[in-house]
Amino acid sequence: MSTVELTSGNFDEVIQGPDGDGKSFVLIDFWAGWCGPCVRFAPVYDKAAERHPDLVFAKVDTEAQQELAAAFGIQSIPTLAVIRDGVLVFSQAGALPEASLEQLITQARALDMDEVRAKVAAATEA
């Protein structure tokens, strides 16, 4: 699967997943065209998208989508975020090497989302 351009206009639709049930697995690359590390990370990200067609690989151009970047608190690019079933489970600035990106995908796939949601609920109540 190729990457999806994520905007404030299509954000909810992409995050809700193809069935609209909130069961999604979305990796988001926050980038800008002037950013050297972003440009170098792009082929690594695109290859991962080809290897994992069951996942959504999205890109946010932080220059064009400043409101969306601000909503995620992006202060440095590239930043990679992972949203699974509507929950932000990972966010980190810096370009990842291919092996690290694959390891991240494996770890995110292995998450018990019921447990994650329970921890989020407990933290919200506290």
Task: Give CA 13 to chain center in angstroms.
Answer: 14
Cα distances (angstroms) measured from residue 9 to each of 2, 14, 67, 77, 94: 19, 10, 11, 22, 26
For residue 78, say if its preceding peptide bond is cis, omega within 30 degrees of 0: yes
Calpha distance 67→73 (Å, rounded): 10
> In the chain, what are the helix, strand and coil shares in percent, each to the nearest 5?
45, 20, 35
Q: Which of 6, 15, 35, 49 is catalytic?
A: 35
Query: Annotated catalytic, 35?
Result: yes
Residue 41: active-site member: no
Active-site residue (options: 38, 58, 68, 96): 38
Rounded to 5 degrees, what are φ and ψ at 8?
A: -65, -25
The residues annotated with a catalytic role in the active site are 35, 38
